[in-house]
Amino acid sequence: MPPVADRRPHIAVVGSGIAGLRAADALLKREVDARIVVFGDEPHRTYNRPGLTKKRYPLSDALESTIAEDVRVKGAENDAVTWRLGTGVRSADLSGRTLRLSTGETFEYDALVIAAGVRPRTAFGDGGECALHTHRTLRGLGDARYVHQRLQASEKVTITGAGFVACELASLAKEYGCEVLMLEALRRGPFESLLGERLATALGRRLVQHGITFLTGDSARELLCAAEPSHAEPPPDRSLSDQSLSDRSLFIEAIGSVPNVEWLDGNGLDLSDGVRVDAYMRVSPWDNVFAAGDVARYPDPWTAGSLTRREFWKNAIDTGDLAGRSLASSLGYGSVTSPIGYFPSMSTEVLGLRIQIAGDPRASDAMEVVCGDPDEPEQGVLVAYLREGTAVGAAYLDKGARYNSAYIKLLRSLRER
């Protein structure tokens, strides 16, 4: 007897990060009768990416699997889900409903979730070397394994940038006992585009107090150096060259990211900054294509008429879940009644100081101190960011949590405005 053809719809999820996982989970939760295939460039199942720069690991021959185990995120454990790990998607033909894979195969889908994420932006190229440095960026688990291994040697490390990844890396390198040089050519201090000059400058001073050499402006620019394009081809396996690199110190670029959208070229989509979606994560004009996570650019629920793209853990969860529910609904499983309502709220810890930021401080035209002294963030400082007199964002910096309830109260008024 010939095998019965699988008539279930095929759902392709491009991206094995948390947004892709949550989209798959939402489909399973609605008991969508489909075959779900998740494609991921990395060989690892979904993990907690923010966790890669949060703590030290002991010396180990199996560092990558130690980290992988520590940051592993469970979910989508179901026979209906096939994980194609280590398999990238090179191009897509949305009208032909076909993906071309890195293996040379093609995959025909009935519905598609784009959760391809972002990659680090680089000014000097990733993976090269110059006379003094090994140049790297940090995004994936393999990168994290390499960086932790180098930091464990307590050597000198240079970090460019002063955002979340840069500051967490600097903090981590200090904990590992490294000599840390931070270069920020454009801003005066950490998180300046979010927190404003005064707090950024105070945070910059704090880096210096903790023994980090923090240079800005021209003195930073003078020390920026480029990897030489001597390697026509990158080494096939980075680990092969690990042992021979100790004569060059580590130079990490952490200056932002670029959405992974090139594989969608040629389909007439708006790819100017990620993938343009509507408030239900649908990619117009395709009724079977959805996008979620760092790559999705959606109507900002907090600022009418503008679009937003967010690179935060909880944003990936909320948009991934919504994309999965919208897809399920398009196949006749349930309905989706409320659009995306993600309220930006993020936190980090840099050298023992907790930094919480919420709302949209970038959109503000003034800062108002609610409690504490912006020049002494260790004693706790709570600020509101205003646009035309109305609060649009807030930040709270503290070693303890004296003003935490005031911060939470402020956030509630922001969300309800």
The binding site for other proteins (CB under 8 A) comprises 48, 50-51, 54-55, 71, 73, 313-314, 317, 345-349, 354, 356, 358, 398-402, 404-405, 408, 411
The alpha carbon of 409 is separated from its chain's Cα centroid by a whole number of angstroms, namely 28
Rounded to whole angstroms, how far apart are CA atoms 103 and 37? 15
Contact call for residues 361 and 397 (beta carbons, < 8 A): no
Please state the closest distance from residue 87 (CB atom) to other proteins, in A: 25
Sheet strand arrangement including 35-40 = 81-85, 35-40, 10-14, 111-114, 289-291
Report the residue number, 33 or 175, with the smaller CB distance to other proteins. Answer: 175
Contact call for residues 150 and 49 (beta carbons, < 8 A): no
Report the residue number, 230 or 405, with the smaller CB distance to other proteins. Answer: 405
Which of 305, 306, 308 lies closest to 297, judged by CA? 308
Beta bridge partners of 310: none
Please state the closest distance from residue 348 (CB atom) to other proteins, in A: 8
Report the residue number, 387 or 399, with the smaller CB distance to other proteins. Answer: 399
Report the residue number, 328 or 411, with the smaller CB distance to other proteins. Answer: 411
Burial class (CB within 10 angstroms; exposed 0-12, middle 13-18, buried 19+) of 417: exposed
Report the residue number, 213 or 345, with the smaller CB distance to other proteins. Answer: 345
Radius of gyration in angstroms for the set of CA atoms belonging to the chain, rounded to a whole number: 22
Report the residue number, 41 or 168, with the smaller CB distance to other proteins. Answer: 168
Report the residue number, 10 or 402, with the smaller CB distance to other proteins. Answer: 402
Report the residue number, 121 or 409, with the smaller CB distance to other proteins. Answer: 409
Rounded to whole angstroms, how far apart are CA atoms 281 and 317? 13
Contact call for residues 122 and 165 (beta carbons, < 8 A): no
In which residue are the tokens 């690199």 written?
245
Please state the closest distance from residue 306 (CB atom) to other proteins, in A: 24
Contact call for residues 180 and 360 (beta carbons, < 8 A): no
Please state the closest distance from residue 136 (CB atom) to other proteins, in A: 23
What is the three-class DSSP state of 170? helix
Please state the closest distance from residue 405 (CB atom) to other proteins, in A: 8
Please state the closest distance from residue 100 (CB atom) to other proteins, in A: 34
Instruction: Read off the DSSP letter of residue 133.
Output: E
Beta bridge partners of 397: 355, 381
Contact call for residues 361 and 395 (beta carbons, < 8 A): yes
Please state the closest distance from residue 55 (CB atom) to other proteins, in A: 8
Please state the closest distance from residue 269 (CB atom) to other proteins, in A: 29
